[in-house]
Structure 1
Amino acid sequence: MLNQSLTTKIYFSPSKDPWYNLALEEYLLDSVKKNEIYLYLWQNQNTVVIGRNQNPWKECRCEVLENSGGKLARRLSGGGAVYHDLGNLNFTFIMDKDLYDLSKQLKVIIDSVKIFGIDAEFSGRNDITVNGKKFSGNAYYFRGNAAYHHGTILVDTDFDKLTSYLQVSKEKIISKGIDSVQSRVVNLKNINPNITIEKMSDLLKKTFLGNYGGDGEEIEINNTEKIELLYNKYSSWEWRYGQTPSFDIVLSNKFDWGSIELGLQLKDGFIRSSKIYSDSLEVDFMETISSELIGLPLNLEKIAQKLNSFNDIDNNKDIIIKDLCYWLKHKSI
């Protein structure tokens, strides 16, 4: 049953600049109202986008990317690094948080490719796959009363550039049971040659309205001053690369929910500063964990005890805490 009081809006960005498109995405996140949901479609040219808490130097061959005229961008959400070009279509569902329904949002994507005769399914923690190969990676972000869920759709992406720019750890490749990144991803055009970005975009709009109703009016972009301020943030060195401090100790591991690299600076045996690099989807929670470690002695048992004291957390975060505590209690430094 479609919600007749729901307001649906659609916007396709004319820009191919990742910093502008991410600024616009955050602007729309701050603009969405009660009982509203937007479908925002966008494309970036020759870009690597990393997750909120990732280390750019470990995820991307930054110098190779920039020497070829590409851009590095960092998004608000978690998850791993992705390559964008004009053979890839990005989608973002931006909504009143009360409307957030991952299965319904995914249905829009899955319904769209089904029209092309492709039976897709949601797989793992954030992928949409066909025949075991990924064509869409997904992530989400919540702020106040708003939320977004965004992802990629590989239609005709240049996989040679993808593999030349992205650096994927051997541990991640082994955990996926594959021998390369290219063996794990697929362009939809290779399955159905009739698929184009334009057709995919039109179908997404159609299935979006089919699932949510409403008239899908075009979003009006009014506050260009705010978008310019957000653009300045997304294009800045500080946001994209950040500080890369030298740590006294670095602990790393891979879990089902993502990888983690914990860097600690010490003074007199106590943690003076802490930084977590991770592709976990729980971006804010990772930052909370990092800040809670400051002031603790460098004692993994005591760090585990501190983490174990977290309460009032949902099941996803509880799993993260349990995994981290078990790892730290059984690790030696």
Structure 2
Amino acid sequence: MIKHLQAFIGAGTNPHRNLAIEEYLTDTVPEDTLIVYLWQNRHTVVIGRNQNAWAECRTAELERDGGTLARRLSGGGAVYHDMGNLNFTFSLRTQDYDLRRQQGVIVEACRSLGIPAEISGRNDILTNGCKFSGNSFYSHNGCSFHNGTLLLSVDMANLGKYLTPSKVKLESKGVASVRSRVINLTELRPSLTVAEMADAMVKAAETVYGLKASMLSEADFDEAEIEKRYQRFSSFDWVYGKSVPCTFECARRFSWGEVTVQLLVKNGCCEDAAVYSDAMDAEFAAPLAAAFRSCRFTPDELCARVHQTPQCAAVAEDLCELLQSQAL
């Protein structure tokens, strides 16, 4: 049960440090406490934990324009952040995690500003039928976070400039329909500022949880712990991940998200493997890639490895259907 409410409004705009703070706050959140972390990234593309950086983002163009690529801990798809976007993170113990209550803070913040808002499915929050907030989720060692974006006045042109939707996603949704669903909140309230939205979020959390928020500052944090995390989040290995020189690739979009399997096959055996997904609960990606290594390159053997991977239980039938449909 949440008995204490804390809030931290970050001043820095370096995405790798912001992600380090997010992880630090989540790893160290006290019992019975909710931390509301509000932060901004400058000119950044953030990809989900299990996504292929080169497939999701025009990395060279982003870097040439002075932008930054970052990879978050949570699943989901690629997003563009600039100073017209406010990010939020709710950090708390997993036993106190309540997605609808947390999303209710966003709805209440918008309502207090005269902006109608509603929750759509698990991941999105809409106003007038258009998306202004996408959410993702992460749990580890009894602690969890729920994070997402709040589009206030984002440069929509850059959404298309740097993000590269996959072929199967394009076939599934279409670029025009995706863009038409996104809206900046300043279209409904032109005077809205990031500072005003951040203040509304803190007050909304107080309303929803019936608690007074105590404000945190960076002086309250262990700088050595944040620096250690920053070094990982800013490393090439974390941001770009592993690229497999594949000889076999298949991909499909399911109701739970898109998945791509890449295999390096030599002498009828999978010598290396990579699995990418924009699924919100994509904890299966890394264990499945490991399971495929040294596997015989046959549909039955690959599917057996799927079923032997506990993290794949919820999506095993879909993954096997995809693999069985390939002409191996």
| Equivalent residue, structure 2, for 1:19 | 16
Distance 1:80 1:41 in 2: 20
Instruction: Confirm whether residue 131 of structure 1 aligns to residue 128 of structure 2.
Output: yes
Q: Which residue of 1 aligns with 2:138?
A: 141
In structure 1, how many angstroms separate the alpha carbons of the residues matched to 2:252 and 2:103?
30
Instruction: Report the Cα distance in structure 2 between the residues aligned to 1:326 and 1:310, rounded to whole angstroms.
Output: 16
Do 1:173 and 1:179's aligned partners in 2 also have CA atoms closer than 8 Å? no
Worse-matched range after superposition: 145-154 or 302-311: 302-311
Runs of 4+ in 1 over 6 A off after TM superposition: none
Compute the displacement of 1:171 (Å). Answer: 2.9
Aligned twin of 2:58: 61
Is the Cα–Cα contact under 8 Å of residues 173 and 180 in structure 1 kept in the other structure?
no
Per-residue deviation, 1:12: 0.6
* Separation (CA, whole Å) in 2 of partners of 1:310 and 1:62: 32
The answer for the alignment partner of 1:290 in structure 2 is 289
Structure 1 window deviating more from structure 2 (7-16 vs 278-287): it is: 278-287
- Determine the C-alpha separation between the residues in 2 that align with 1:33 and 1:283: 27
Question: Are 2:296 and 1:332 aligned?
Answer: no
Superposed counterparts of 1:28-107, under 5 Å:
28-107=25-104
8 Å contact kept, 1:125–1:257: no
2:148 aligns to what?
151
Separation of aligned partners in 2, 1:263 and 1:11: 40
How big is the shift at 1:108? 0.6
Q: Number of matched residues?
A: 326
Q: 1:191 aligns with which of 188, 193, 199?
A: 188
Deviations 1:249-297 (A, max 9, x none): 1111111111111111223212222111111112322222222222221
- Alpha-carbon distance in 2 for matches of 1:68, 1:177: 26
Per-residue deviation, 1:154: 0.2
CA shift for structure 1 position 238: 1.2
Among 318, 321, 326, the alignment partner of 1:323 is 318
Once residues 60 and 74 of structure 1 are traced to their aligned partners in structure 2, the CA distance between those partners, rounded to angstroms, is 11
| Larger displacement relative to structure 2 (113-122 or 235-244) | 113-122
**How far apart are 1:121 and its partner, in Å?**
2.3
* Structure 2 letter corresponding to 1:162: L
Give the secondary-structure state (helix, strand or coil) at the position aligned to 2:202: helix
The answer (yes or no) to whether the contact 2:39–2:86 under 8 Å persists in 1 is yes
State the match for 2:278 in structure 1: 279
- CA distance change for structure 1 residues 242 and 305 in 2, over 3 Å: closer, same or farther? closer
On the 8 A contact 1:261/1:278 being kept in 2, the answer is: yes
What RMSD in Å do the two structures reach over aligned CA positions? Answer: 1.8
* Farther-moved stretch of structure 1 (133-142 vs 110-119): 110-119
When the two structures are superposed, what TM-score results if normalisation uses the length of structure 2?
0.93
Q: Which runs of 5+ in 1 are unaligned?
A: none
State the alpha-carbon separation in 2 of the partners of residues 327 and 129 from structure 1: 32
Structure 1 pair 78–196 and aligned structure 2 pair: CA distance change class (3 A): same
Give 1:201's match in structure 2, choosing from 198, 202, 208: 198
When the two structures are superposed, what TM-score results if normalisation uses the length of structure 1?
Answer: 0.92
Q: Distance in 1 between matches of 2:251 and 2:321?
A: 14
